[in-house]
Amino acid sequence: MKKISFFIDGKEVTTTEGKTILEAALENGIDIPHFCYHDSLGKDGNCRICLVEIENNPKLVTSCTTPVMEGMKVLANSEHARKGRAGVMEFILLNHPLDCPVCDKAGECILQNYSYDHGYGHSRLEYPKEHFPVKDLGPDIYLWTERCIKCGRCIRFLEDIAETGELGFRKRGVKTELDIFDGVPIDNPVSLNIVDICPVGALLDKDFLYKARVWDLKSTESICPGCSAGCNIKYWSLDNILQRITARSNKGVNDHWLCNEGRRTYKNVDTEDRLVRHSLKGGKTVKLDEALEKLINTCETYKDKEGAGSIVAIGSPYLTNEENYLIKKLFGDNLGAKVSLFPARVSGKDQSFGGGFKIKAEKAPNYKGAQAALGLKNDNFQKIIDEIDKGSIKCVIAFNGDPELNLDASALKALKKAKFISLCEPHPSELNKTADIIFAGNMPAEKDGTFTNDKGITQRIRRAVYKPLDSEPEWQILLELAAQWNQECKAKHPL
């Protein structure tokens, strides 16, 4: 593509032919205000807030629709341009309720920020404002109609990405209002993206409504644990409790999008049934070192009496690469035990949306990475289950990161036949009552590490909240085990 150089407020900017002024400015870190433009939904040119002046051109132009030309001199902050934008802002705010103190978007609202930077700071409207009702748009979303600035981002998302098209504008002029078609709620698996991209507080997630002020929240960048797509997310927490998950942009993985199911995975973390203490069969709680000592003695005994082949360590596609690697290193390489991997839960089929966004049927975030970290070329789980069933494997060391361990009845029955089970998991699974030692593990939001998605892209996950009580991230339990067992586990990264 041909390169083009032009100037924004005297600064030389280089871009490729065909780009608009706004695209070139944003690429080069120059912020020109914009509402309706979104880099994954394209240009619409309806909000007019991106007006700029071009030298020797008497009229202001919308920078989101005007292509750059060689040597063009753009004046984004001339008096003419600023006055034009202030005029647009005055129109946008004409009927806006200015209810920032009670609006959920306050603190992350583009309209709020731009009105400080580009507005007049007062209204000249002498008549009463138009009022519109709050509308229930479906199971997840409310519309505060009078906050809507009619940018159309939500409509374009539902048409181009969700491909469901539930929203549209009704009426004309100041009476224009956003609405669903009668009797058709917004109920698609990616609908909550319109809450993320709405530049104002018009579209609100029912789940987050009035929960917290965003400036009180701590945000942590991580990866969604809901499926194998590896969507980039932000966890938002208040006082160590997760409040919501929003999408984070990564053009190479999830663009700007996240499915509704992924957004709700935070609800699995702070639940009543979380395991918070390590324990033995029968419910007696024990300290970590006591539980580890029992595990070490049992492994040594089985190795001496039955051979290392009578032991299997089973990793999890819900644990990080590093944790699965430690399982292989400690039990496979150092002890000589067999190594396997729990299957990933699968639900329905992959779902595809506009722009290439996908929700994967494989409901585990790290199957591919876990397989590589455990050194497994093929899925050997069923073979291992058969060996447990026949009695040739007697000692099972299982790591279950899945909040709902989804094994078929025959696999569960075989596992329960093992003479000894050590189980590490954050929530009690069906295996829990049978296990001889239970380690209280952690959820992905409570640990650092990496996940590898279905395309083989390895990405960082980060701890957003601290572990509950005596529970530990699995990597911590495994490192304590190595230390207590005098085992060497230093090695280069597995991937």
Binding site for ligand SF4 (CB under 6 A): 148-154, 178, 198-200, 202-203
Q: Which is nearer to ligand SF4, 133 or 336 (CB)?
A: 133
Whose structure tokens read 């089929």?
349
Q: Which is nearer to ligand SF4, 200 or 286 (CB)?
A: 200
Q: CB of residue 109 vs ligand SF4: minimum separation in angstroms?
A: 10
Q: Which is nearer to ligand SF4, 138 or 309 (CB)?
A: 138
Q: Which is nearer to ligand SF4, 46 or 484 (CB)?
A: 46
The H or E element containing residue 304 is helix 288-306
Q: CB of residue 224 vs ligand SF4: minimum separation in angstroms?
A: 23
Q: CB of residue 338 vs ligand SF4: minimum separation in angstroms?
A: 54
CA–CA distance, 242 with 175 (Å, rounded to integer): 39
Q: CB of residue 155 vs ligand SF4: minimum separation in angstroms?
A: 6
Q: Which is nearer to ligand SF4, 47 or 465 (CB)?
A: 47
DSSP-derived secondary structure for 247-284: E--BTTTTBT---HHHHGGGGGTS-TT---SEEETTS-
Q: Which is nearer to ligand SF4, 176 or 382 (CB)?
A: 176
Q: CB of residue 149 vs ligand SF4: minimum separation in angstroms?
A: 5
Counts for the chain of helices (H) and strands (E), in that order: 12, 24
DSSP 50: T
Q: CB of residue 193 vs ligand SF4: minimum separation in angstroms?
A: 10
402-414 burial code (b ≥16 CB/10 A, e <16): bbebbbeeebbeb
Q: CB of residue 214 vs ligand SF4: minimum separation in angstroms?
A: 17
Q: CB of residue 147 vs ligand SF4: minimum separation in angstroms?
A: 7
The 3-state DSSP class for residue 83 equals helix
Q: 138: Cβ–Cβ under 8 A, 6 or more apart, which residues?
A: 166, 180, 185, 186, 187, 191
Whose structure tokens read 């190479």?
252
The radius of gyration of the chain's CA atoms, rounded to the nearest angstrom, is 28
Q: How far is CA 368 from the centre of its chain?
A: 19
Q: Which is nearer to ligand SF4, 151 or 435 (CB)?
A: 151
Q: Which is nearer to ligand SF4, 196 or 362 (CB)?
A: 196
Question: Of the candidates 329, 335, 280, 330, which has an alpha carbon nearest to the alpha carbon of residue 307?
Answer: 335
Q: CB of residue 91 vs ligand SF4: minimum separation in angstroms?
A: 14
DSSP-derived secondary structure for 277-297: SEEETTS-EE-HHHHHHHHHH
Q: Which is nearer to ligand SF4, 85 or 368 (CB)?
A: 85
CA–CA distance, 64 with 5 (Å, rounded to integer): 17
CA–CA distance, 240 with 272 (Å, rounded to integer): 15
